[in-house]
Amino acid sequence: MSFVFNADEIFEMALKIEKNGEKFYRDSAAGIGDPEAIQLLLKLADMEVDHHRIFNGMKTALSPADKKAMTFDPNNEAGLYLASLANTKVFFEKDIDTSGLEAILKDALAAEKDSIAFYLGMKDLVPAGSNREKIEEIVREEMQHIRILGERLAALKK
């Protein structure tokens, strides 16, 4: 089966990733008793809200042609790549262990890494002039999330 995505559909996937990321962090914060961990998780949730706002603005700014045009990809590698990433369910309602902070951090790290891979693939499929630099900025922020989560996870293991 072959999948071909236009820019509008790609942004829709990105919006879902960010919305589910926010939900994950807020739900996780609600189930943890550590005030410092709650603050961290809520900060990460707020960052996902900001990413959602940016992607929504980019999606809204697409021209009708961008919503219809398909990226030239004779072997459909880009479409298959994004479909594969989307099917791994980056923050997409998968079962995530929120029983303890260590499990939350591990699952969050995995999801953030998946989202970076998705956004890097997405960046190459977004039409020129559609604010690709904003996607790069979001990738850098997601990398910060990984650093923050990794540092916190390492501190738990000490």
- What range defines the domain where residue 21 resides? 7-156
In a domain, 1, yes or no: no
Query: Between vectors from CA 63 to CA 61 and to CA 67, what angle results, nearest 5°?
Result: 105
Is-above-0.85 flag for pTM?
no
CATH of the domain at 28: 1.20.1260.10
In a domain, 97, yes or no: yes
- Tell which wins on pLDDT, 93 or 2: 93
- Tell which wins on pLDDT, 151 or 130: 151
Q: How many domains does the chain have?
A: 1
Q: What is the pLDDT of residue 1?
A: 39
- Cα separation, 41 vs 101, whole angstroms: 10
